[in-house]
Amino acid sequence: MYTLVALIVFVQTFQASSKLYGYKDVEIPECDNYTIMNHNLRRDITYWHNSIRSSLQMPWRENDRDRLPNSSHMNLLNYDCELEKTAYNIAQSCPDNSNPSFDYTGSNNYTGELLYEGYYASFVLRAYWSWYSTWEANKNGTPLEDLKPTNENAPMIPFLQTMVGNMTKLGCAFNLNCMNSTNSSFVSFVCQYGEPHVKLGIPIYTNGTPCSECVGSCVRRHGLMQQHNLLICRNNKAFDQTTFILQHS
């Protein structure tokens, strides 16, 4: 079972090794400066999402009875400025995600207090950990049969939304000026995801050998795909017209 420390270590390992195993750097765009999001925050939240998506494919998890099955098509996520704008607009309403519903999917939000003024990176990590924890807290009581969410899986929507295989982008934003009914201030952090979103009865991804449905570059070590129009998939190996880019773990 993951702990917060293990998550941090895994993320750091993913960041350090992603270049070594053939991934191009995930380009983090320079969005408009109307929010407190900056390059490092955008980079961190993108890496954290990709780290957990990649963890499905890790060989050392094959004997973990609690793990989800491998995905044959799990896209590498990129950061998107338009989705950041959408997340910013949602955050202005100071949403409460205490009762997730399949009627409202496509974004995750987290509310809390800053431990220290300006420590936004730790808040972002707490947010992502809270979304991941909805899987840890509910996987035994409400198993995800055939990767198809049911109404019983609603409590784990925040995690499921981050694991939709065909999703390719996300954007996130803060609101530092939320107030509750007792006039106490809190912070809202929202991530908006590109389509497709998690839906009732629709598998969040396709079970199979990592990279076996490759339509772009795919590095077996991490099992996440990067879209690239010049690449084709042949015998589960990704090629462009001249260069073999798939590296074996």
Classify residue 40: in a domain, yes or no. Answer: yes
Classify residue 147 as exposed, middle or buried by CB count within 10 Å of its CB (0-12, 13-18, 19+). Answer: middle
pLDDT tens readout for residues 28-38: 999 987 788 99
Q: What is the pTM of this model?
A: 0.79
In a domain, 193, yes or no: yes
| pLDDT at res. 76 | 86
Confidence at 70, pLDDT banded by 50, 70, 90: confident
Task: Say if 241 falls within a structural domain.
Answer: no
- With beta carbons less than 8 A apart as the criterion, state whether 139 and 226 touch: no
pLDDT value, residue 136:
81
Q: Is residue 215 part of a domain?
A: no
Torsion of CA 69, 198, 41, 90, to 10 degrees: -160
The answer to whether position 245 is within a domain reads no
Q: Which two tokens stand for residue 29?
A: 């765009």
Average pLDDT over residues 27-54: 88
Number of domains making up the chain:
1
User: Can you give the residue range of the structural domain that contains 165?
Assistant: 4-210
pLDDT digits (tens, 9 = 90+) for 92-124: 999 876 788 999 999 999 999 887 777 899 899
